[in-house]
Structure 1
Amino acid sequence: MYLLDILIIMIITGLIGGAVNYLSDSNKVTDTSKFKRSLLECLFLGFAATIMIPFFLKLADSSLLQDINIKNEKNGSYSVFCKENLALPFAQNYLLWSAYCLLGAAAGMKFIELLISKVLTQAEKQELQEKVQEKVKADKKKIENLLATEHLMTSTSNSENQIITKSVQTGVQKSIGPIKYPGDPQKGRFGCKNKDNGRTLSVEYTDSRIKDFLNLIITVSTDSPNHPFEGDLYLYLHDSFAKSLIKIEADGKEKVSYEIPSYGAFTIGASADDGRTLLELDLSELKNFPEDFRNR
């Protein structure tokens, strides 16, 4: 029978609250003191507001209705309006329920609009959280794939570097000088000239999709079409790259290029013609490159 008690309270408080809303200053036009809504409209809004009280308590994570039901079952009572039940301690829950219903009914349309706004806000938050979670999952998957790819590339690059290094130790590297600058390991090892023996080492750049990076276009070309490369070309990059030693088939060609993204400037070394041609270019000295890139 506690549900009947709840409904009776809602009807009574809906009438009282609707009347309060009708007589309140917010329902009167300031200049003329006329009522904005009729009494019937206010009573209807009062009933509508009391019907929404359970939903309001649900949003507020209140267990008031459950407490009323549980205490009724424990005491074996059927109605709070029975004379013997009026003094029971659980009657305070009915008073609290009455207060909620009365406040909702007195607020009328404002209370209803508040609930609507709260529901929409929670729905938007939930939708946003779902989108964020989906993005986090997608980004996590991308990162995992990137790490796995980077690990594979690094492992492969290390193997390739070892193979290439072994293949050039007999002739090419004998003519390359020792590392003088650990921070820029190729600097000063290749003669400090970007032109020699009819060959030219040059670098251009384009904007990269990666923030703060530039896409480097490294080119080694011959000065005469009658003087093509002999053998393979080797590019020596900064040791921070996954592949710091690049082997390019250049035999019989007049121009070869290699592209790689870079965050900052470094010295590029090149060896061609079976080690007879050594070239070197320090990107930090190229004035056509952005200053912030050259200083990194």
Structure 2
Amino acid sequence: MGSVPESVLAIGATLGEGPVWVAREAALWFVDIKEKRIYRFDPGLGVARSWDAPAQVGWILPTQDGLFAAGLQSGVHRFDPDDGSFALLHAPEADRPGNRLNDATVDPAGGLWFGSMDDGEEADEGRFYRLYQGRLTESGLPPVSITNGPAVSPDGTLLYHTDTLGKRIWRTRIATDGTLHDTAAFVDIEEGAGYPDGPTIDAEGCLWTGLFAGWAARRYDPAGKLMSEVRFPVANVTKIAFGGPDLSVAYATTARKGLTNDQLVAQPSAGDLFAFDPGVRGQTSYIAII
């Protein structure tokens, strides 16, 4: 595995998103939001299995009962891959049918953090939530149009959350009771560099973000300083996840969404799953206690 990203699964996803390494299976799970599909990629065999979802699906994360939580447009569902069934657990925005769930992570305590967004990508209707042991709470963070993340620091004290259209990543402190305080700007993406998409934190506490329409993924240190940039052969890089036995492989989902026919011809691997050597290990992906 080299430092230049290479396609490892040619699926041409419309909007590939939400990659997560599930250690109990030694497999990478991710979704294609617009095609309403969940994927499980086995890197050892180089093959994938997929399931159809009943609505747009923003993320898939492992839960303490050996199953999964899935963020569908209609709310948080329990997903059983054995029979492909979905069971609604929480519908936090049943009064906002134009919204959908978009991205998520699990903190070290097992809390499931996730965001919503305006599916039309215009109105500031996106909010962040935390689900833990059956209790769903709204974060209280200001609403934006497209949320991404959140991501949590290795010690569980910092929450990174993205305003994609505002091209800003924010950092907020997490109190021991799960409440948030001291929100401050962490990184602003400069004009012409694309839009910050899904954030991920590595084992050294540095933040990686995909850049939609930016042809790259970037790594920032805990102070918000740009450390490195990995260039891709496709424009829409959505999110990074660390996997493999020692979490030393970086996987990246990408998207065909928004590309013209000419751009798709020039980017034949747009929407594929990529992998590269990031030169750093990821942190453990935690199990959601929902």
| Common fold: TM-score over 0.5 | no
Q: TM-score, normalised by structure 1?
A: 0.20
Q: Which has the higher contact order (CA 8 A, sep 6+)?
A: 2
Larger relative helix fraction: 1
Larger relative strand fraction: 2
Q: TM-score, normalised by structure 2?
A: 0.20
